[in-house]
Structure 1
Amino acid sequence: MSTNLLTLEGVHTHIGAYHILHGVDLVVPRGELTLLLGRNGAGKTTTLRTIMGLWQASQGRITFAGEDITRLNTPAIAQKNIAYVPENMGIFSDLTVKENMLLAARNAKHAVQMDEARLQWIFKLFPPVEKFWNHPAGKLSGGQKQMLAVSRAIVEPRDLLIIDEPSKGLAPAIIQNMIEAFEQLKASGVTILLVEQNIHFAQQLGDTVAVMDNGRVVHAGSMQTLAEDTALQQSLLGLAL
């Protein structure tokens, strides 16, 4: 079995007349948290959306668990036990927290059919999900919506969790809660690919890191190596961690 759960090889993506990804090479090791960093407009979100089939790669190959998924549609990719939390979270505002969770639980038609032990685990990770179980999701704060979005993604066991900027716009206390939750998710064996701008968040969680610029991966390696090399941070990101 390959140590890499997800691999992108020479992936190009065009959106209309625009050529966004220019040959992305990326590996996501099994059981680790891989961070995708880069300035705004570097191609990070496009990479995630291309992996999920929301935008089709115009060239290159995407492999998941040894299977070529490049040409699969989004529902077929999700069926491979891959969950995606977009930057806008995709919450159904008019539905309750419970109804949002139930929609993501493919093996349950009613709330009582959801895995109770797994729900209790999620409630410990994100207490507001339990607290506001019967409340409309649209009434939640930004941090609570993000917790719901991640909870929905893990309501069933997943092999790969792909999340776009989970800490964006959150208060420091909520970010720390999110860090602790992701540490537990990692410990449970879930492989995670994360786009993140919060450097504190990245440093605490990342095992491996890929830095993007102009639609390409320009650096890949361990998060620790990047965190310890100020000159490398400046050259790649224009900042110091």
Structure 2
Amino acid sequence: MTHDKPMPLLALRGVHTHIGAYHILHGVDLTVPEGQVTMLLGRNGAGKTTTLRTIMGLWAASAGEVRFRGEGIGGVGQQASTPDIARRGLAYVPENMGIFADLTVRDNLLLAARAARRVDQLDAARLDWIFGLFPALHKFWLYPAGKLSGGQKQMLAVARAIIEPRALLLIDEPSKGLAPAMIQSLIQALQELKRQRTTLLLVEQNFAMARALGDHVAVMDNGRVVHTGRMADLAADEDLQQRLLGLSLGAHQ
């Protein structure tokens, strides 16, 4: 008797992306299992951010296909718009966070909640859950987002992405520029999302965070995925880390 492998939540097959005259992705193959955390690692310029932006339809794939729950959302002849992709349950936290600096924390979250026009229409239980993950957002509820610290802005960016239930979160470099204490708080919040079986695809350069969160890993180089496997296996193999990433995870505790 054979057992079919479950369909991945997200799958990229042979994806190429051009940005103007530049050929950035060169046939990316990537699968993201549902309910788990997949880390997307690689040196600077490997194509990680371009991969996330291609998934979201911000840049169109010039060849190959992007499939979500088995349905095509990207690729020649089946490119969905970014708003349509978001409506399917994907949320993207870009490296620059994408928050509105002049608006309050409250109004940033309200804008991200498609089902609510007013604060009293927000899901109160979900809002309390978010405050449990990120207590600073409750404290600074009526502060302009631009006055938050870097770590608090990152927490707001993630909170915006999860103010409504999402099927898949794409997060680009969440720990970049954060102090170690803020990174630890962010790890704890993302671990809670993981315990809730939230599906995450994370681009991250902090390898302690990658090891703490990742179930699976895909390593990119020169616009291609050159390695896939269990994050724990990569974390345990310093020779493989050196070969794929040019450094050792042990040096980034």
Q: Same fold (TM over 0.5)?
A: yes
Question: Which of residues 199, 211, 236 is equivalent to 1:228?
Answer: 236
**8 Å CA contact retained: 1:44, 1:212:** yes
Distance 1:39 1:57 in 2: 22
Distance 2:240 2:7 in 1: 27
What corresponds to 1:42 in structure 2? 46
**8 Å CA contact retained: 2:7, 2:69:** no
What corresponds to 1:73 in structure 2? 81
Q: How much does 1:2 deviate?
A: 3.3
Q: How much does 1:188 deviate?
A: 1.0
> How do 1:24-63 and structure 2 match up within 5 A?
24-63=28-67
2:18 aligned with 1:10, yes or no? no
Question: Which of residues 20, 23, 30 is equivalent to 1:19?
Answer: 23
1:101 corresponds to which letter in structure 2? Answer: L
Give the share of equivalent positions with the same residue, in percent. 68
Question: Which of residues 115, 120, 136 is equivalent to 2:144?
Answer: 136
> How do 1:159-198 and structure 2 match up within 5 A?
159-198=167-206
Which structure 2 residue ranges, 5 or more long, are not aligned? none
Q: How much does 1:187 deviate?
A: 1.1
Distance 1:11 1:239 in 2: 27
Q: Normalised by the size of structure 2, how large is the TM-score?
A: 0.94
Spell out, residue by residue over 1:10-59, the C-alpha distance to the aligned partner (whole angstroms, 9 max, x if none).
Answer: 00000000000000000001100000000000000000000000000000
Distance 1:111 1:15 in 2: 39
Distance 2:200 2:116 in 1: 25
Q: How much does 1:217 deviate?
A: 0.2
Distance 1:189 1:155 in 2: 16
**8 Å CA contact retained: 1:211, 1:218:** yes
Spell out, residue by residue over 1:73-132, the C-alpha distance to the aligned partner (whole angstroms, 9 max, x if none).
Answer: 100000001110000000100100000000001000000110000000000100111110
What corresponds to 1:211 in structure 2? 219
Q: How much does 1:181 deviate?
A: 0.6
Q: How much does 1:3 deviate?
A: 3.9
Spell out, residue by residue over 1:179-237, the C-alpha distance to the aligned partner (whole angstroms, 9 max, x if none).
Answer: 11111101112100000000100010000000000000000000011011111000000
What corresponds to 1:116 in structure 2? 124
Greater mean alpha carbon deviation, residues 184-193 or residues 49-58: 184-193
**8 Å CA contact retained: 1:146, 1:166:** yes
Aligned Cα root-mean-square deviation (Å):
0.8
Q: Normalised by the size of structure 1, how large is the TM-score?
A: 0.99
State the aligned residue count: 241
Distance 1:2 1:123 in 2: 34
